[in-house]
A = this chain, B = another copy of it.
Amino acid sequence: MAATLHDVAKLAGVSIKTVSNVVNAYPHVRPATRERVQAAIDELGYQPNISARSLRSGRSGVIGLVLPELSLSYFAELADAVIAEAEKHGLVVLIEKTGASRDHEIAVLSSPRMRLTDGLIFSPLGMGQEDVAHLAVDYPLVLLGERIFGGPVDHVTMRNVEAARAATESLIAAGRRRIAVIGAHEGEVVGSAALRLAGYEEALAAAGIALDPDLVTFTTLWHRANGAASMRELVQSGTPFDAVFGLNDALALGALRVLQEEGLRVPEDVAVIGFDDIEESAFTVPSLSSIDPGRTQIAAEAVEILVRRIGEGGGRPSEPREVLVDFAVVERESTRGPESRAPRVEGARPGSQDSAATGV
């Protein structure tokens, strides 16, 4: 049913090689021939068969993106950015979600389902440093996140420690001294939680503020509900505090809600800052200060590096690269005084590029 190179060749009265040359924009084709072939292509509505091309050339034009979960805003926005970047390179994106399960993550790395991709952008959450060996795969792979460092692959990550330190410092600069942390992970050494906690501790130390363990709350999950629960516990414990650092925005948002339920004023009584700068944070009441970790830059770098690796082919690969992107402290109402509340609602953030009319 679908037209093939042969059909086009027959109709145009040339060989399939010539048709192939036209399809692939090979320069040395006589204009007259090209025109005739193009006419035949249009008439038959010819579409190249990607499987056949891929089988022969070893390239599918598809890259894989492996994420914990799409319904978390951070990852949804990351995926959106990756798809946009991939499109610039003429690539489409196959998304696999792992549910942050270590086993699932490891399985995906050697899954034949992923074999039709030219390379993978891999964002694990369950795997840890001890799994570094699993990353030694025989296809292009770019690692994201902060679960594994120093692996045999290119790695794009954010400046967790510095950014968390900057977040904490912004609270200290506003005169806060009793800064609670929401979302620490017990005993973790690498991983977002550990790194961000380290940044928090650095900031306190630099300001000469003693670390009060009672102010550090733990939760494995980083959803709104966990932030809310931690906050409620902290309030009920009676431990005094004048600021909250949510290790991600969802946690901070959950905490924000509970603070208000409890009748505490934000930021007058308690200042709140998050991490991730998801779109939602600009629209809550009060709007949430946060760290923009450079999400779009991460997506751009990851795709760029992957494309370069794919282009390298099987040749002796160059050294794995470790890329750190820039971050920014985004101050909003939850840390600024109420006097500076204008403009009260921000417009569309520049980060959410090419968002055309989109209902539902």
Contacts and interface: CB of A to CB of B under 8 A. Distances in A.
A49 to B, nearest CB: 7
Contact of A358 (B79, B100, B348, B358): B100
Interface string A175-208: 0000000010100000111000000000000000
B99 A79 contact: no
A104 to B, nearest CB: 9
B51 A222 contact: no
Interface string A42-78: 0001011111101100001110000011111111110
Q: Which one of A248, A258, A344, A360 has the greatest number of beta carbons of chain B within 10 Å?
A: A360
The count of identical subunits is 2
Contacts of A212: none
Q: Which 3 A-B pairs have the closest CB atoms?
A: A76-B76, A70-B80, A51-B54
20 contacts: A47-B110, A48-B112, A49-B55, A51-B60, A61-B113, A69-B358, A70-B70, A70-B77, A92-B114, A99-B356, A145-B360, A185-B359, A191-B359, A223-B348, A225-B347, A253-B283, A257-B283, A257-B285, A261-B345, A284-B285
Interface of A: 1-2, 45, 47-52, 54-55, 60-62, 68-77, 79-80, 83-84, 92-97, 99-101, 110, 112-116, 125-126, 138, 145-146, 183, 185, 191-193, 220-225, 228-229, 247-248, 253-254, 256-258, 260-261, 276, 279-280, 282-285, 314, 344-348, 352, 354-360
